[in-house]
Structure 1
Amino acid sequence: MATTTLPEFLRARRERLQPEPTGRRRTPGLRREEVAARAGVSVTWYTWLEQGRGGVPSDEVLERLARALELDETNREMLFLLAHARPPPRRYTPPAEVTPALQRVLDNLRAPAFVKTPTFQIVAWNRAAVAVMGDYAAVPERDRNMLRRVFHPEAAAFLPHGDDMRRTCLAAFRVDIARAGASEEAAALVDELMATSEEFRRLWAENELHTHGVRSRRLVRPGVGELVFEASMFSVDDSDGLGMVVLSPADDASARGVEQLLRELEHSTG
């Protein structure tokens, strides 16, 4: 099947819009001149665009077309992909709330898992995460942050390879906040850690960038020793930047350690 073209996409979205009730119309959707007026472009140029000969629109014009055609975020992204072969610039919006369905996904996992925002704030978790990493509900909300945790002076007690953890977390954090768009929350977090952590200042100056990928993570827990995990991050659809991190035990000993910690948690909480 041939891929959708920009002219086909524009026509299809225009024809789906409901015009104002002004009498009988022979054609579905809006007319080209109505879309052009909404977008603030000439009718001739918009007509050429639908005919595949209007040139390459700028980002600003594409944004106006997206509003004129009442596109949601998925269709706005498609508009930019068809016109420029790249996604649109990110517009910062506060991360969406965790839905009951997403929480059920977490709760059905026996491996530690949690949901984070682009600024690495942990906003949801499961019992395995509590068993392995502690009860997030028992600490102030500001302390439920991955960067604050790994750059905390006491992190060495449970991170046997803390330098690697800090380095990879910070590199992925820089990518995530760039994708999400500038925010006061991200700027404030960076300023705070720059002021309080010499290690953060050193690594921040290196300007290392990479995505999360699948990373090996090692944690030390009393009674079970060192646990080895493969950390994977999954984007959550329609959530404005939320990501689910799953820590899969990398060997049998680590899997047994997680199960032991879960049994101890269940016993202590009844």
Structure 2
Amino acid sequence: MDRRELADFLRSRRERIAPADVGLPAGTRRRTPGLRREEVAQLAYISIEYYTRLEQARAPHPSHEVLAGLSRALRLSDAERDHLHHLAGAPPLPAAGPPRAVRQSILDLMERLPQAAATVTSASFEILAWNDLAAALMEDFSALPRRERNFVRRVFLGPHTNGQRLYGVSDADEFARNATQRLRATAARYPDDPEVAELVAELLDGSEEFTRLWQSHDVSAEPSQRKTFQHPLVGPVTVNCDALAITDRDQQLVIYTAAPGSPSEQALRLLSVIGTQSMDVTR
């Protein structure tokens, strides 16, 4: 535990936060910028005396619970939270399961891609976020229960609309194989997560194909860079598929784009207008 560095770090983080940032009145008798020590203690649910000793480099090792409270009170970023833990001599505990919170900057980026479909998936293939064009290309994920918003569950267990796996993508079988390999690696990273264990058990019980692939114990996979969706309204849509790792969240941002000037680009433009509305295509 580096008491002096910890004290200086806490003080610097406290002084950068305006009272209004955490819903406190500014008042008229503040002699220093930022929050008062007692305000941080209150927000972190610890005693004023103990927090004061932390900033005076006189306190004993803080617990993980105290560090979590300080991280929340001081609105620390992920990197700052980890730094706080290391200064306190208590390395951050590994996440129990795949992180589900998507950074706001990623959500903003997705909305700035009007001609591209984009999704964010967790390490267990849960669909955490999507833009409007992704919903139009695949389905309205907001209408599904959370447990059904999962690509690996869908490719193995369905529903298979019109007999087509995973929205009729051309690489469904390859995706199934790669997803199994990545899910095995995820299960090893999060051995105590009940949702990952439940997903694997459900797939083993419900899919002979998954069981066969799972028992191969392969853990490396190369994702497909190009695929074709069979869309019920606009027909085949061929897209480039670029998966960008969000390493600090163990997530993937997947962006689907069509070649400029291609029929698939025109199809995506049409889908951006149609959205997820139902249309009678029999007339």
Q: TM-score range by the shorter chain?
A: 0.5 to 0.7
> 1:92: Cα distance to partner?
1.5
The one-letter code of the counterpart of 1:121 is: E
> 1:211: Cα distance to partner?
6.5
- TM-score, reference length from structure 1: 0.64
Change (3 A) 1:170 1:196: same
SS in structure 2 at match of 1:38: coil
1:142 has 2:142 as partner? no
The one-letter code of the counterpart of 2:110 is: L
Q: 1:202 corresponds to which residue?
A: 212
How many Å separate the matches in 1 of 2:214 and 2:263?
Answer: 35
> 1:176: Cα distance to partner?
3.9
SS in structure 2 at match of 1:134: coil
Point out where structure 1 has 5 or more consecutive residues left out of the alignment.
1-6, 40-62
Q: CA RMSD in A?
A: 4.2
- Contact 1:221–1:227 (Cα < 8 Å) also in 2: no
Post-superposition Cα deviations, 1:23-64, rounded to whole Å, max 9, x if no partner, equal: xx9xx9444xx46x427xxxxxxxxxxxxxxxxxxxxxxx98
Change (3 A) 1:215 1:179: farther
Q: 1:120 corresponds to which residue?
A: 125
Point out where structure 2 has 5 or more consecutive residues left out of the alignment.
12-36, 38-47
Post-superposition Cα deviations, 1:165-187, rounded to whole Å, max 9, x if no partner, equal: 11122223333454455310000
Among candidates 255, 263, 271, match of residue 261 of structure 1: 271
Q: 1:16 corresponds to which residue?
A: 9
Post-superposition Cα deviations, 1:210-232, rounded to whole Å, max 9, x if no partner, equal: 37767333322243325132231
The one-letter code of the counterpart of 1:194 is: L
Post-superposition Cα deviations, 1:62-121, rounded to whole Å, max 9, x if no partner, equal: x98x959x7764256569999xxxx97722257344566543332221211122233221
Q: 2:198 corresponds to which residue?
A: 188
Among candidates 79, 104, 109, match of residue 108 of structure 2: 104
> 1:257: Cα distance to partner?
2.6
Q: 1:92 corresponds to which residue?
A: 96
How many Å separate the matches in 2 of 1:92 and 1:224?
Answer: 42
Change (3 A) 1:88 1:249: farther
> 1:193: Cα distance to partner?
0.6
Among candidates 181, 191, 194, match of residue 171 of structure 1: 181
Change (3 A) 1:207 1:133: same
Q: 1:52 corresponds to which residue?
A: none
The one-letter code of the counterpart of 1:229 is: N
SS in structure 2 at match of 1:207: coil
Q: 1:249 corresponds to which residue?
A: 258
How many Å separate the matches in 2 of 1:123 and 1:141?
Answer: 9
1:224 has 2:250 as partner? no
Among candidates 139, 152, 158, match of residue 168 of structure 2: 158
- TM-score, reference length from structure 2: 0.61
SS in structure 2 at match of 1:227: strand
- Contact 2:126–2:150 (Cα < 8 Å) also in 1: yes
Q: 1:233 corresponds to which residue?
A: 244
Q: Give % identity.
A: 27
Q: Say which is worse superposed, 139-148 or 95-104, in terms of deviation.
A: 95-104
SS in structure 1 at match of 2:134: helix
Give the aligned length. Answer: 226
> 1:199: Cα distance to partner?
1.0
> 1:200: Cα distance to partner?
0.7
Change (3 A) 1:78 1:214: farther
How many Å separate the matches in 2 of 1:163 and 1:121?
Answer: 19
The one-letter code of the counterpart of 2:177 is: R
Change (3 A) 1:151 1:267: closer
